[in-house]
Structure 1
Amino acid sequence: MKKLLFIAVFFLGWQSYAQENIDDLLASGVNDARRFTQSYLDPATEGIVYNLNNGWFNSGKAKKLFGFEISIVANASFVKDENKSFVLDVNDYENLRFQDGSTSREVSTAFGDIEGITVVAEGPLPGAVDDAVFELPTGLGSADINFVPSAFIQGSIGLIKGTELKARYFPKVETDDVNAGLFGFGIQHEITSWLPADKLFPVAISGLIAYTNLDGTYDFTSTSIVSGQDQRLENSTSTWLFQLIGSTKLPVFNVYGGIGYINGKSETDLKGTFNVQSGVLGNQTLVDPFSIENKVTGVRGTVGVRLKLGFFRINADYTLAEYDNVSLALSFGFR
């Protein structure tokens, strides 16, 4: 397992998948491998898109000119049972078949824990001498990981009247096999700051637009049981958040919330050279076999509380969405 949780879902799922099954799925053909990978990874990439949109705000009140806040934010998005499996119908595949003759079965996604499902990819030779027989991969459920985590540093500063600029960052992680990092930026504008009686109005209302990007590469050349070179997985996930925010304006304890819309995209590329030994592509070499893309849109609702203690703030919120989320932040700053 990788040591940093925010990349655990994506890269741990693929570490298991790449080490145990990538050669087998390629044996059934590039189209079959791409189709299965799309269904297997879609819940994980969707979970990442939803997760990356959390933690952007803790108040509808914009900071005054040059007021600032620096926060450490942690998120956990929860995986529903419906996202842990999908139905594999062999009629949708060119060469993949269940060993027991079934037409369709429920199989694991990257979040699931379904083991022992054996499939066959038939080779071009008569009989079964070059068939590939293997088990489909399980998911992170086998390691009791049932949530999508993230953590980052976030800062905000007040600019012109009612406007606040935000940025978030997680430094690039570079190890022997993982290279990943996160950044984002956003702008929040307080609509109520333009009201004649702003100081008497008990609620602050703002609009927020924010962008987050996660880029990563996982190199599994040394662990793959398929011979080849420079075998790696590259992913780029980007997402936009459009949020309406409201909050109380009390000195110490406040309640905040909002309704938002997300629009995200995740692109995943399987790169490198793969020498396939059996199945329909037996004794063939593949270079950069395939790419997959997942587009995600959805609405969300957030409610949270914020406590101010001098220069320090603590806030926590819960978001209802396709992947419900809990966010917790510890902040330092002044308005």
Structure 2
Amino acid sequence: MKKLTLILSLLITTCVAAQQNIDNLLAAGINDAQRFATAYMRPASDGLVYSMNNGWFNSGKAKKLFGFDISLVINGAFVNDDNKSFILNTSDYENLQFRDGSTSKEVATAFGDIQGAVVVIEGDSGIPAIPSQDAEFELPTGLGSSNINFVPTAFLQASFGLIKGTEIKARFFPKVTTNDADVGLYGFGIQHEFTSWLPADKLFPVGISGLIAYTHLDGSYDFTDTNIVDGEDQRFENNTNTFLFQLIGSTKLPVFNVYGGLGYLTGTSTTDLKGTYRVQSGVISQETIIDPFSIENKTSGVRATIGAKLSLAFFKMNIDYTLAKYNGLSVGLHFGI
């Protein structure tokens, strides 16, 4: 649990590498720092949205009236090589320039590992009596240096059968604090089996359902005590909200079943840099900045899932794989009737 919380905390901030360079990034000015952070963070934010939407279903058959189960679900969304870097064009920035004179260069995202991209910023204190201080630094790498190329999520999930063909679901990841970070998740969903209304429902060995689900994640990471930048109450805060619309089909056999689905998801992830910062160099040297910027990433896409489920009395387990912009793997253990 602690390792999962730490990985999620790294993803909803800008990873340890970006945190260690926050003073440097702010030296380029708030607009440049925000623009770079948005591109740098996008794969982590998008991957989180896709990972959060995995694991909502394992059958096209809805539970019977008062049927229920409690599940432990573990997901991962994989980041492909195309999302491990982006092209930084200096014409899109106000103050960032590459030291070697290049006007564009491939640099790392939060999941990349590209080293040696050094930028320079001409200083401007804005005060005649205070000399300007130029800034020169290497842009941050990402989690690729640690061979991490996936976004994990995990939670407890409960399902309960209501009226004919209708099942409600809820998921929860308790807010856990570790290493100055805390992350929590919750969600709700409703699934309805269309085939439950067919006259030959008992004889028809296939279940077809529709699912609508909402998931919310929020977290923060306090790095005030790291002494990276002079200031107070320095932290990242993240809020991610997603919706999933899914069509599901499965076999309805006693022990072993296969299932699949076609769906569409949409999500918004907002990360705020909060606190007070006193930058010592660059275009805003000697200035005090409060709550520098907010990053908003939106993503949406189609997904297709295929999986299998094994049922043994009160115990069930499933595994499935999802094809999407960020492919995903989900494993679930279930107890109930």
Q: TM-score range by the shorter chain?
A: over 0.9
Distance in 1 (CA, whole Å) between partners of 2:109 and 2:33 is: 14
Q: Does 1:180 align with 2:180?
A: no
Structure 1 stretch 170-179 or stretch 213-222: which is displaced more? 170-179
CA contact 2:32–2:94 (8 Å) conserved in 1:
yes
What is the identity, as a one-letter code, of the residue corresponding to 1:7?
L
- Could you say which residue in structure 2 is the equivalent of 1:226? 229
* TM-score normalised over the length of structure 1: 0.96
CA contact 1:167–1:183 (8 Å) conserved in 2:
yes
- Could you say which residue in structure 2 is the equivalent of 1:329? 332
Structure 1 stretch 169-178 or stretch 248-257: which is displaced more? 169-178
CA contact 1:9–1:44 (8 Å) conserved in 2:
no
Q: Does 1:253 align with 2:243?
A: no
CA contact 1:9–1:148 (8 Å) conserved in 2:
no
- Could you say which residue in structure 2 is the equivalent of 1:279? 282
CA contact 2:60–2:209 (8 Å) conserved in 1:
yes
Distance in 1 (CA, whole Å) between partners of 2:281 and 2:53 is: 43
- Could you say which residue in structure 1 is the equivalent of 2:15? 14
Where in structure 1 do 4 or more consecutive aligned residues deviate above 2 Å?
A: 2-6, 11-16
Once the two structures are TM-superposed, the CA of residue 72 in structure 1 deviates from its matched residue by 0.6
Once the two structures are TM-superposed, the CA of residue 16 in structure 1 deviates from its matched residue by 2.6
CA contact 1:112–1:139 (8 Å) conserved in 2:
yes
Distance in 1 (CA, whole Å) between partners of 2:309 and 2:145 is: 36
CA contact 1:245–1:257 (8 Å) conserved in 2:
yes
What is the identity, as a one-letter code, of the residue corresponding to 2:215?
T
Q: Does 1:206 align with 2:247?
A: no
Deviations 1:299-328 (A, max 9, x none): 000000001111110100000000101111
What is the identity, as a one-letter code, of the residue corresponding to 2:74?
A
Distance in 1 (CA, whole Å) between partners of 2:190 and 2:178 is: 33
1:307 to 306, 310, 325: 310
- Secondary structure at the aligned position of 2:224 is classed as coil
What is the identity, as a one-letter code, of the residue corresponding to 1:269?
D
CA contact 2:132–2:282 (8 Å) conserved in 1:
no
Q: Does 1:100 align with 2:103?
A: no
Once the two structures are TM-superposed, the CA of residue 177 in structure 1 deviates from its matched residue by 1.0
Q: Does 1:49 align with 2:52?
A: no
Q: Does 1:36 align with 2:36?
A: yes
CA contact 2:210–2:246 (8 Å) conserved in 1:
yes
Gaps in structure 1 of 5+ consecutive residues: none
Once the two structures are TM-superposed, the CA of residue 117 in structure 1 deviates from its matched residue by 1.1
Aligned-pair identity in percent equals 66
- Secondary structure at the aligned position of 1:46 is classed as helix
Aligned residues: 331
Once the two structures are TM-superposed, the CA of residue 150 in structure 1 deviates from its matched residue by 1.1
What is the identity, as a one-letter code, of the residue corresponding to 1:10?
L
- Could you say which residue in structure 2 is the equivalent of 1:4? 4
2:265 to 262, 265, 272: 262
- Could you say which residue in structure 2 is the equivalent of 1:61? 61
CA contact 2:9–2:220 (8 Å) conserved in 1:
no
Once the two structures are TM-superposed, the CA of residue 199 in structure 1 deviates from its matched residue by 1.0
Q: Taking structure 1 as reference, are residues 176 and 111 closer, same or farther at Cα in structure 2, changes over 3 Å only?
A: closer
What is the identity, as a one-letter code, of the residue corresponding to 1:135?
E
Deviations 1:263-292 (A, max 9, x none): 100011100000011100011010000111
1:293 to 296, 305, 314: 296
2:238 to 235, 251, 259: 235
Once the two structures are TM-superposed, the CA of residue 234 in structure 1 deviates from its matched residue by 0.4
CA contact 2:50–2:326 (8 Å) conserved in 1:
yes
Once the two structures are TM-superposed, the CA of residue 3 in structure 1 deviates from its matched residue by 2.4
Gaps in structure 2 of 5+ consecutive residues: none
Q: Does 1:156 align with 2:159?
A: yes
Once the two structures are TM-superposed, the CA of residue 124 in structure 1 deviates from its matched residue by 2.2
Once the two structures are TM-superposed, the CA of residue 9 in structure 1 deviates from its matched residue by 4.8
